[in-house]
Amino acid sequence: MKLAIVDDDEQCRRQVVEFVRTYMKNTKQDIEVEAYSLAINFISEYRSDCDVIFLDVEMPHMDGISAAKKIREVDKYVPIIFLTSYSQYAINGYEVNAIDYVMKPLTYFVFEMKLKKALKFTQRRVNEDVVIVTKQGVLRLPNSEIMFACSEGNNTAYHTVNGIYRERMTMRDTAKKFKGSNIAFCSSGCLINLSFVTRVVKDVVYLGDIQLQISRSKRKEFIDRCINSLSEGG
């Protein structure tokens, strides 16, 4: 678990670090903390690798709202909690899907409550997101947006509703990322999100206008998974 605190107030940063240490001691949970004094520095280094971000609203060079918009360009779902001394600024958090805000000065009771909320949100995402490493950097892909993933030499190509992303990884290792998800092999080189299946005709599975071949060795298992998915409303 990784948490970032971005605030130009050194006392506030130290306080958050101490609060996290207290939380870890009380819950026996490990949390890595990274502290930044400037949002512009955090944004330049961010690689979609945080589980929770505490973000001050008022900072020099780049304010918290602007920073959050930059974060959302590469990470749509990471929980953002704003820190502010003025409640009227909190309403701006809706622009960037912030999950909450904390009024300054901070108290441990309120901080703990907000952190627990963020961690619950993060836990729900664990089985819903796939993290991949591309040439452009680290990306989070929601399962709900991945139509299928197929082998391209030494790479896996993730075909999503927003485009295609490639990662250097075997299909066997790719499949481990989807363990417990509504995704199944239609062949040894192709995983399909069953939620996108519109029909199956003989040895061809249709995802709308997209046609993919079902191998003989995977046919029975794949058809069974499709039937189970339909019966469960998936």
Q: Mean pLDDT of residues grouped by 10 in the chain (234 residues)?
A: 96 97 95 97 92 95 95 88 81 79 94 92 69 86 90 95 93 85 91 91 92 94 84 55
Residue 127: what pLDDT? 54
Residue intervals in the chain for CATH 2.40.50.1020:
129-231
Residue 222: what pLDDT? 92
Residue 178: what pLDDT? 82
Asked whether 58 and 34 are in contact (CB, 8 A), the reply is no
Residue intervals in the chain for CATH 3.40.50.2300:
2-126
List b or e across 92-120, with b for residues whose CB sees 16 or more CB atoms inside 10 angstroms: bbeebebbbbbeeebeeeebbebbeebbe
Residues in the chain: 234
Residue 90: what pLDDT? 63
* Lookup: tokens for 33: 């903390």
Residue 181: what pLDDT? 76
Residue 179: what pLDDT? 73
Q: What is the pTM of this model?
A: 0.61
Assign domain 129-231 to its CATH architecture: Beta Barrel (2.40)
Residue 48: what pLDDT? 84
Q: Which residues touch 120 (CB under 8 Å, ≥6 apart)? A: none
Angle among Cα 171, 177, 180 to the nearest 5 degrees reads 115
Assigned CATH for 2-126: 3.40.50.2300
Residue 59: what pLDDT? 95
